[in-house]
Structure 1
Amino acid sequence: MRVGVITFPGSLDDRDAQRAVEIAGGTPIALWHADHDLQGVDAVVLPGGFSYGDYLRCGAIASRAPIMAELKDAANKGLPVLGICNGFQMLVESHLLPGGLIRNAGGRFVCRDQRLRVENIDTAWTNAYEQDEEITIPLKNGEGAYIADDETLKRIEGEGLVAFRYLGVNPNGSLNDIAGLRNERGNVVGLMPHPEHAVEPGFGPDTPERMRSGIDGLGMFASVLRSLAQA
């Protein structure tokens, strides 16, 4: 399966995302922000970083990049899309996911191994996990506080659109401890933590349960490949 990873000016984790796709068994395809061609890929990852220097708002300029017109159209037709950190910010700025992301509570950049609970496994990117499974993957952001108005927040919770929730510590002040969301269809998922940094034994976060495995993020990339194989 061919999974595209879009590089924007300021992307930092595009190569890591490509490697994660490869480790999961897929074929990573490098895509460029200024193109209008998704090259027929089966899924897309919007990687982390500081696209366009995070000017205006994080992800705001990137959401208007040429390739995003094609991506939004394809996502609305069912193409699986994963937005990681800056990619999550792009998804909310593109209105593919609701709400918004603002400066962390306290105004500090946060970098830590973060515990999460998988809240919804009925998506293209979470089906390899168990419902309510607890995982640990790296988090690194300065503007990761999730916000939404009361009506939107009620809809998100009522419709089960929370994909991941922070456990133990809310690192950035996100409402309802929301770490990641899904859309109604389940093909679009965005989250602030970085699963691509927890896909190789010995290189991801160490946990007592898994010792030096550090591969809790691999399930997201395995999930989309399984979804595509079953489609």
Structure 2
Amino acid sequence: MKFGILVFPGSNCDRDVATVTSGILKQPTRMIWHSDTDISDCDVIVVPGGFSYGDYLRCGAIARFAPVMRALQDHVAKGKYAIGICNGFQILTEAGILPGALVRNRDLHFICDRVSLRVERHNLAFTQKYQQHQVISLPIAHGEGCYFADADTLKSLEDHQQIVFRYCDADGKITDAANPNGSLNNIAGICNPQGNAIGMMPHPERAAESILGGTDGKALFASLLESALTYA
């Protein structure tokens, strides 16, 4: 399985992802500059965290117009995999690949912490190595991570099981106190209707080695490899 990692001016988690895909999982990995337009050689595209284009205007608003984004839309339309992490999630919503928007955190503060998440979908290519409603722990680091959508969009996400991760407490309970940023319905990650593109605010690539304090994030990338073997 070949991974492609998009790199925008201001990306700062691209090498973190490559450490997992290339270093830990030993998979071919290509860094893709934002002006590239051919990503056809990649099976999975990762849109990493950081501050694309300095987060001017609003997070992801400029990155959505990068030449590589049209290729990413075609990539997803063909059924290939894509994941947006933190700023990458913001970019995917700005580009219309995923619904909704990420807005300023409830308390208007940048949050750098480790949070508990409940796995709401364990039957996606990204999550099959997790258990349904398993509680995992991943780091977050964002100032605009509050997921927002209108009532109809939220209902559609719930009805079509497009919510992949929710913020929860250590026991898996979905509570306001466990919601770090005010995201509606405690949403931490969603997928498109086809399930081949997901976006999430927490950073799985920062929880892929025990030296970092946990390996719950490694299972997400390993799930993709298992999916490739299953359908090979």
Aligned mate of 2:204, from 195, 211, 229: 195
Cα deviation digits, residues 2-48 of structure 1 (max 9, x gap): 10111100001000001111213422211110111115111110000
1:10-25 superposed matches below 5 A: 10-22=10-22, 23-25=24-26
Is the 8 Å Cα contact of residues 98 and 152 (structure 1) preserved in structure 2?
yes
Cα deviation digits, residues 91-120 of structure 1 (max 9, x gap): 111111111110001100001011000100
Q: Which runs of 4+ in 1 moved over 4 A?
A: none
Distance 2:225 2:28 in 1: 10
CA displacement at 1:146 relative to structure 2? 0.2
1:36-51 superposed matches below 5 A: 36-51=37-52
1:165 paired to 2:174: no
Name the counterpart of 1:56: 57
1:21-32 superposed matches below 5 A: 21-22=21-22, 23-32=24-33
| Structure 1: gaps (5+ residues) | 205-213
Name the counterpart of 1:186: 195
Name the counterpart of 1:227: 227
Is the 8 Å Cα contact of residues 24 and 218 (structure 1) preserved in structure 2?
no
Name the counterpart of 2:175: none
Q: Which amino acid aligns with 1:170?
A: N
Distance 1:24 1:160 in 2: 29
Cα deviation digits, residues 161-191 of structure 1 (max 9, x gap): 0000001221110000000001111110110
Name the counterpart of 2:121: 120
Is the 8 Å Cα contact of residues 139 and 206 (structure 2) preserved in structure 1?
yes
Distance 2:65 2:80 in 1: 19
Cα deviation digits, residues 44-71 of structure 1 (max 9, x gap): 1000000001011201111110011001
TM-score, normalisation: structure 1: 0.94
Cα deviation digits, residues 163-222 of structure 1 (max 9, x gap): 000012211100000000011111101100000000011213xxxxxxxxx000001111
Is the 8 Å Cα contact of residues 205 and 218 (structure 2) preserved in structure 1?
yes
CA displacement at 1:230 relative to structure 2? 2.1
CA displacement at 1:229 relative to structure 2? 2.1
Distance 2:208 2:74 in 1: 30
Name the counterpart of 2:5: 5
| Structure 2: gaps (5+ residues) | 170-177
Give aligned pairs, total: 222
Question: Identity, % of aligned pairs?
Answer: 49
Q: Which amino acid aligns with 1:220?
A: L
